Amino acid sequence: MMTSKKFLDNFGRSETLWMYACSRCGECVDVCPVYEKTGDKYTAPGFKIKKMRGLITKKLAPFTGSPSEDYVAKVVKGLYDCTLCGRCWSVCPYNYDLVNLWEKARESAYGNGLGPEPLQQVEEALTAEKNIFKRPHSRRRDWTKGLDVPIGEKADTVYFVGCLMSYRGQLKPAASALATILNTAGERWTILEDEVCCGVPMKFSGATKRLEELMDTNIGAIEDTGARTIVFSCPGCYRMFWQEYSKMFGKRVRMMHEIELIDELAKAGKITFNGKLQEKMTYHDPCELSRLSGIIDEPRNIIADIAKGFVELPNNKFNVACCGGGGLYKSVDTDSSISIAGERIAQAEQVGASILATACPSCIMTLSQAARSRKSEVKVIDFAQAVAQNLSE
Amino acid sequence: MPKETNAPRKKYPPKVAETGTRTIIKGMFQVSLLDSAFHLLMAILLITGLLIDLLGSWLGGWLFWIRQVAHGYLGTLFVIIFILYILKALVSKKMRTVLTATNYVDFLFYIALIITGISIASANAPWITYIPELAEALAPIAAYAPTIHIVGTYVWILFSTIFPGGILHGLATAYLISHLKKRSERGA
């Protein structure tokens, strides 16, 4: 049931104060990929703050009037028409954590029954089958068939595969590539016997009520392996773990994205590259990995070893332009999401790249869909795949 | 595509200790010199104005300096900065997108305070004789200007606090800076 009157009621003091303190400089407006694409003012970060501030003011000073359902609906739509890429935060002169603000606001919207229909379906899927696709939980490990992948063993390193890598056939080569790298390096590793979604889609949609349940399952399964390192292919899972799970794990467990691990293995001489990749290759920095996790130099260190013709995309590294697939935006507005990704593909074409590598399953899915719809010859691949294909014997 | 900016590389999530007075000042300069000058002068004029009105009789010899120099001359500078700021706000789509109706009402208050301020400053000032048109234009409000200037300021403070305008923006910023500083000192 819609309870728009209670929307933002549970907003924290810090978030409220920050919205009042916002300097109205508008720096965040021009850089938003969704606003750039749609032109809808309600998607512009500064405009959203303005409207949410208006809603809170009406709560604090009721004599200023009460907002209409339509007004609230527009604000909520704007909140979900967002990739959570953090570009707005990156340009905020006052360093205001806007990603956190959008997530908190979504939580309030979702908690009051204002979440968009596609995201409610995601929550249902997570509740029923512990994955975002509502595919049977029992088939989560199907991707390992025919591969040398240890499951639920005692190990030093756990590979946390994630929903996209586990269930999307297109990404199977990416997951198996990391398995190959780990085996080549002689790591003592395993995947979990009973891995479930890390919960980041719940955090993104604001459906945080059942988050703990998922987290507890994963924590228990990881502790059973005795591992002290967890490695991720998905930057969403990775950020979820270092931001949320680390509160439970403390410093007992090290969390690494696959790129960090590959960089570390290469530096330790556990893997070597043949440097045979002749094609012109470019790299798209996933927002959650580069801007929000600071992993910027590591992929470039590795690329220098594997590819002869590397070329940078414009709007890269910390200032990377989002592919359009983040923050569950693709579920909310697929066309616009693919259209944003199309621009990234066009940029790859402009720099003359035939391979576009990236290190995020969501980016791969979105970018490759955009490449197909543009009939582009740019091939989108996972970073681990590019590495695995160039490992020395 | 979004324009390339030279945003400095920051660390996510921002830590409380990273957001303090220095961040705010750096941020203002990052937006523009105009933004910094506007905010700085606005704060000085508001504080000195309140000092003159509330503590004037206790200020002794300081009153002259505060009224004439800090409030008067800097007020003149503010007029120029304000005109440029308004022009910038009107021509910048991104600023128009984020400014609220209250901010525009704030601007109207500033205009009223500027006009009455000039009227007060021009009384018995020799420079006014060089601009007879201005003296003529200000003549009808000369008797009421001090009252309008002072009452207008308090009405603006009240208005801009209840409806979130410039004053609440300033108060929230000041609170956050002091609060964050205390939190970071406690090691939070």
Q: Are A273 and A313 in contact (CB under 8 A)?
A: no
Nearest to A57 among B35, B164, B169 (CB): B164
Whether B22 contacts chain A with CB within 8 A: no
What does the alpha-carbon distance between residue A92 and residue A89 come to, in Å, rounded to a whole number? 5
On the question of pLDDT at A370 being above 60, the answer is yes
For residues B139, B143, B144, B145, the Cα torsion angle rounded to the nearest 10 degrees is: 60
Cβ contact B35–A25 (<8 Å): yes
What does the alpha-carbon distance between residue A192 and residue A158 come to, in Å, rounded to a whole number? 7
| Per-residue pLDDT at B7 | 46
| Per-residue pLDDT at A215 | 96
Whether B169 contacts chain A with CB within 8 A: yes
Nearest to A30 among B3, B13, B31 (CB): B3
Which pLDDT band, with edges at 50, 70 and 90, does B135 fall under? confident
**Fold exhibited by the domain B33-179:** Fumarate Reductase Cytochrome B subunit (1.20.950)
Whether B186 contacts chain A with CB within 8 A: no
DSSP A283: E
Q: Are A198 and A160 in contact (CB under 8 A)?
A: yes
Cβ contact B97–A26 (<8 Å): yes
Tell which phi-psi region holds residue A202, choosing left (phi > 0), alpha (psi between -120 and 50) or beta.
Answer: alpha
Q: What Å distances lie between residue B114 and A97, A277, B69, B154, B169, CA to CA?
A: 36, 68, 16, 15, 21
Which pLDDT band, with edges at 50, 70 and 90, does B3 fall under? very low
Place of tokens 């996933």: A286
Which residues of chain A does B95 touch, with a Cβ-Cβ cutoff of 8 Å? 24-26
On the question of pLDDT at B115 being above 80, the answer is yes
| Per-residue pLDDT at A3 | 59
Cβ contact B10–A90 (<8 Å): yes
Strand order through the sheet with A355-358: A307-310, A277-284, A355-358, A379-382
Backbone angles phi and psi of A256, in degrees to 5: -135, 140
Which residues of chain A does B42 touch, with a Cβ-Cβ cutoff of 8 Å? none
Structure tokens that stand for A184 in this block: 């080549």
Cβ contact B172–A321 (<8 Å): no
Lowest model confidence (mean pLDDT) among A40-44, A214-218, B32-36, B75-79: B32-36
Cβ contact B5–A91 (<8 Å): yes
What does the alpha-carbon distance between residue A17 and residue B172 come to, in Å, rounded to a whole number? 6
Q: Are B16 and B183 in contact (CB under 8 A)?
A: yes
Nearest to A64 among B9, B163, B176 (CB): B163
Which pLDDT band, with edges at 50, 70 and 90, does B16 fall under? low
Mean pLDDT for B126-149 is 88
Q: What Å distances lie between residue A156 and A185, A197, A223, CA to CA?
A: 13, 21, 11
Best B97, B102, B104, B183 residue to mutate vs chain A (most A CBs within 10 Å): B97
On the question of pLDDT at A376 being above 50, the answer is yes
Look over chain A and give the mean of its residue pLDDT values, rounded to a whole number: 94
Residue % of chain A over a pLDDT of 90 = 86
Pairing assessment for the beta strands A189-190 and A229-232 based on DSSP bridges: unpaired
Determine the 3-state secondary structure of A384 from DSSP: helix
Which residues of chain B does A90 touch, with a Cβ-Cβ cutoff of 8 Å? 7, 10
Residue % of chain A over a pLDDT of 70 = 99
Q: Are A98 and A92 in contact (CB under 8 A)?
A: yes
Q: What is the pTM of this model?
A: 0.91
A28 burial type by CB count under 10 A (0-12 exposed, 13-18 middle, 19+ buried): buried
Structure tokens that stand for A361 in this block: 């399953």
Give me the residue spans of the domains in chain B: 33-179
A–B interface: beta-carbon pairs under 8 A = 128
Place of tokens 């200007």: B145
| Per-residue pLDDT at B12 | 87
Structure tokens that stand for A388 in this block: 């695995």
Structure tokens that stand for B178 in this block: 């002091």
| Per-residue pLDDT at B184 | 55
| Per-residue pLDDT at A111 | 92
Q: What Å distances lie between residue A72 and A2, B9, B48, B170, CA to CA?
A: 10, 35, 41, 27
Domains and CATH numbers, chain A: 3-114 (1.10.1060.10), 118-265 (3.40.50), 273-389 (3.40.50.1860)
| Per-residue pLDDT at B9 | 65
pLDDT in tens, A227-241: 999 999 999 999 999
pLDDT in tens, A18-75: 899 998 999 999 999 999 999 999 999 999 999 999 999 888 888 878 888 899 999 9
Cβ contact B27–A49 (<8 Å): no
Which letter, b or e, does each residue of A93-132 get, where b requires 16 or more Cβ atoms within 10 Å of its Cβ?
Answer: bbbbbbbbbbbbbbbbbbbbebbbeebeebbebbeebbbb
- Secondary structure percentages of chain B, helix, strand, coil, to 5: 80, 0, 20
Look over chain B and give the mean of its residue pLDDT values, rounded to a whole number: 86
Query: Letter for the amino acid at A235?
Result: P
Structure tokens that stand for B183 in this block: 């939190």
Mean pLDDT for A131-157 is 96
Which pLDDT band, with edges at 50, 70 and 90, does B183 fall under? low
Whether B164 contacts chain A with CB within 8 A: yes
Which pLDDT band, with edges at 50, 70 and 90, does B6 fall under? very low
